[in-house]
Chain A
């Protein structure tokens, strides 16, 4: 029997997938539609709808009960009534706390981004220009913290800066009084720079490693001093890397919660922390929702538009 069967070589390949395809086609669904639909439905249900729910709840007010907010729709004697409250949004503008928190978050995120750039640029430059065998090791040293737990790195930093921490013990060797670093805005800046430094270095490195060394030599041969060469050649050419790295630091920093909560003092106002406290400490869900919607409009949407503009610019450059 088996010897007879071998005449029918080559053996038939499994037909499972085409079977599945035919079955779907019979119901009127193409494979293509299915590929698009699966992620699209997931994102609609678990990303877009939640944002709509947040907006809806931002128009209610806090009440005691489950859930802890007033219903949007009420049914009174057969007529459905829609009740919208604008109190939460009015409070965002009238209560100094919220305005100050938004402004302070933007300030802290901006200054930390600039400091991260100033520290990360020379590091990325050195890695990009290092001989091959060194470059791999240095790059690995940047990637390692990138994969290490964010929370644990903030914790490591707090152990380093606290009253009886390593820095103060080191200073004590020289008879210097201990510095108060924890629970201050200073600690928040150090925390953001420390945790996001790899995010700045990696895009800068990918940009600087492509820098054509002959341009720098030509500039030096023509008598330009190193500073001049840097300002007129290296810096302009590395602009895309600077922008990419800065966005990767600024965006997460502005909504940061963990760093101000663990390193900052009670006076360190940041909007992520304000939202958290409205929700967990005050259990004011509608207010937290309004803070989130305001954050979305003031921070997230401009950032997305900026990124789109940046992408369009890059595509244009690549096309030309």
Chain B
């Protein structure tokens, strides 16, 4: 079993590489010194500084609002699009729709951001809407690129779905809309939830697209973090990162435990 020694060491080093920077960031968030890399004693003062920083709190609130609304729009439109692509086998423009919805997945963020900004500027010049840029334009931009991810998640669930339930409901005289809301929607609900969470996370994480389409006074959390980090290391960003990592860890651990309970053999879809 010499080969498995090699594999074990390689995998251990790989996980160490993934986690060492995160762990050191968490440890130094409790450092007293403002020099982020020299340990000088335990302190939670950076957490206090974080909660007293109106710029970070305001940006966090804006980001949460954007992510909530954008994820919701993305799930509604993405589900409609997935239903159209999976259930309506033939319609004019199907290939076009499939290609267009998949394109944001391979589009570099800088192009998505630039193109939407130029659109908003041109529209403002022609129609007078949107007047200026801010919350609304960031939501539109995020909903557009997140929608592609929702379509992928919902599409794979719809493809696996047993058609006989829907057919039975149709045979019993239910209208297609009724079938969708009473049968299809409850069955694909888990996919909608994972799609929404994915969209929410992607929106909260986006720096590049938001930088293009936001206006003065509407900086999202990643934009504030980026401008702080660009100037050097700042200990309150360490504290903020630790809080975010804490939430993500709780969420992922809870999701893994729930999935293990419902499907003991297969931890992932």
- Asked whether B122 lies within 8 Å of A136 as measured between CB atoms, the reply is no
Most chain B Cβ neighbours within 10 Å, of A50, A67, A141, A292? A50
- Asked whether B177 lies within 8 Å of A50 as measured between CB atoms, the reply is no
Nearest A residue to B269, CB-CB: A206
Interface string of B141-156 (1 = CB under 8 A from A): 1011001000000000
Interface string of A249-280 (1 = CB under 8 A from B): 00110111110011000000000100110011
* 273-313 of chain A: CB within 8 A of chain B: 275-276, 279-280, 285, 288-289, 292, 295-296, 299-300, 303-304, 307
A47 interface residue (CB < 8 Å to B): yes
Shortest Cβ distance from B100 into chain A, in angstroms?
A: 5
Q: Give the 3 A-B residue pairs with the shortest CB-CB distance, closest first.
A: A255-B108, A50-B115, A39-B81
- Asked whether A47 lies within 8 Å of B175 as measured between CB atoms, the reply is no
- Asked whether B84 lies within 8 Å of A304 as measured between CB atoms, the reply is no
A244 interface residue (CB < 8 Å to B): no
Cα-based distance from A60 to B107 in the complex (angstroms): 23
Interface string of A36-68 (1 = CB under 8 A from B): 101110111011111101100100000000010
B20 interface residue (CB < 8 Å to A): yes
Which one of B7, B115, B143, B241 lies within 8 Å of A51 (CB-CB)? Answer: B115
- Asked whether A158 lies within 8 Å of B22 as measured between CB atoms, the reply is no
Cα-based distance from A226 to B144 in the complex (angstroms): 48
- Asked whether B119 lies within 8 Å of A295 as measured between CB atoms, the reply is no
Interface string of A97-119 (1 = CB under 8 A from B): 00000000000000000000001
- Asked whether B21 lies within 8 Å of A144 as measured between CB atoms, the reply is no
What residues of chain A lie closer than 8 Å to B265, measured between beta carbons?
132
What residues of chain B lie closer than 8 Å to A145, measured between beta carbons?
18, 22
B50 interface residue (CB < 8 Å to A): no
Which one of A141, A157, A159, A292 lies within 8 Å of B114 (CB-CB)? Answer: A292
- Asked whether A285 lies within 8 Å of B99 as measured between CB atoms, the reply is no
Shortest Cβ distance from A205 into chain B, in angstroms?
A: 9
What residues of chain A lie closer than 8 Å to B222, measured between beta carbons?
149, 151
- Asked whether B22 lies within 8 Å of A153 as measured between CB atoms, the reply is yes
Shortest Cβ distance from B12 into chain A, in angstroms?
A: 9
- Asked whether B114 lies within 8 Å of A54 as measured between CB atoms, the reply is yes
Interface string of A11-55 (1 = CB under 8 A from B): 000000110110000000001100110111011101111110110
Shortest Cβ distance from A17 into chain B, in angstroms?
A: 4
A123 interface residue (CB < 8 Å to B): yes
With A122-B10, A122-B14 known as contacts, the answer to whether A304 contacts B106 (CB < 8 A) is: yes
Nearest A residue to B94, CB-CB: A36
B131 interface residue (CB < 8 Å to A): no
- Asked whether B268 lies within 8 Å of A50 as measured between CB atoms, the reply is no
- Asked whether B115 lies within 8 Å of A53 as measured between CB atoms, the reply is yes
Cα-based distance from A17 to B2 in the complex (angstroms): 65
Nearest A residue to B124, CB-CB: A67
What residues of chain A lie closer than 8 Å to B205, measured between beta carbons?
149-151
Nearest B residue to A168, CB-CB: B37
What residues of chain A lie closer than 8 Å to B17, measured between beta carbons?
119, 194, 197
With A31-B176, A38-B80, A194-B21 known as contacts, the answer to whether A67 contacts B106 (CB < 8 A) is: no
- Asked whether A257 lies within 8 Å of B110 as measured between CB atoms, the reply is yes
- Report, as a range, how many residues of chain A touch the other chain: 35 or more
A86 interface residue (CB < 8 Å to B): no
Which one of B88, B107, B119, B144 lies within 8 Å of A36 (CB-CB)? Answer: B88
- Asked whether A162 lies within 8 Å of B108 as measured between CB atoms, the reply is no
A93 interface residue (CB < 8 Å to B): no
Cα-based distance from A304 to B98 in the complex (angstroms): 12
Shortest Cβ distance from A253 into chain B, in angstroms?
A: 10
* 1-58 of chain B: CB within 8 A of chain A: 2-3, 6-8, 10-11, 14-15, 17-22, 24-25, 28, 35-38
What residues of chain B lie closer than 8 Å to A186, measured between beta carbons?
none
What residues of chain B lie closer than 8 Å to A235, measured between beta carbons?
none
Cα-based distance from A141 to B16 in the complex (angstroms): 11
* 147-163 of chain A: CB within 8 A of chain B: 147-153, 155-160, 162
Cα-based distance from A275 to B110 in the complex (angstroms): 7
A219 interface residue (CB < 8 Å to B): no
28 A-B residue pairs with Cβ-Cβ distance under 8 Å, sorted by A, are A35-B84, A46-B119, A46-B144, A50-B115, A53-B115, A54-B115, A67-B122, A122-B6, A139-B256, A139-B267, A139-B268, A140-B252, A141-B19, A145-B18, A147-B248, A151-B207, A151-B229, A156-B24, A159-B238, A164-B38, A194-B21, A197-B18, A251-B106, A256-B108, A258-B226, A275-B110, A292-B114, A300-B108
Shortest Cβ distance from B64 into chain A, in angstroms?
A: 14
What residues of chain B lie closer than 8 Å to A20, measured between beta carbons?
177
With A158-B229, A255-B111 known as contacts, the answer to whether A50 contacts B116 (CB < 8 A) is: yes
What residues of chain B lie closer than 8 Å to A141, measured between beta carbons?
15, 18-19
Given contacts A17-B181, A53-B115, A152-B25, 13 further A-B contacts (CB under 8 A): A31-B177, A35-B80, A36-B91, A39-B77, A54-B118, A122-B11, A158-B229, A164-B37, A166-B24, A197-B18, A255-B108, A258-B226, A299-B108
- Asked whether B97 lies within 8 Å of A39 as measured between CB atoms, the reply is yes
B233 interface residue (CB < 8 Å to A): yes
Which one of A123, A275, A296, A299 lies within 8 Å of B14 (CB-CB)? Answer: A123
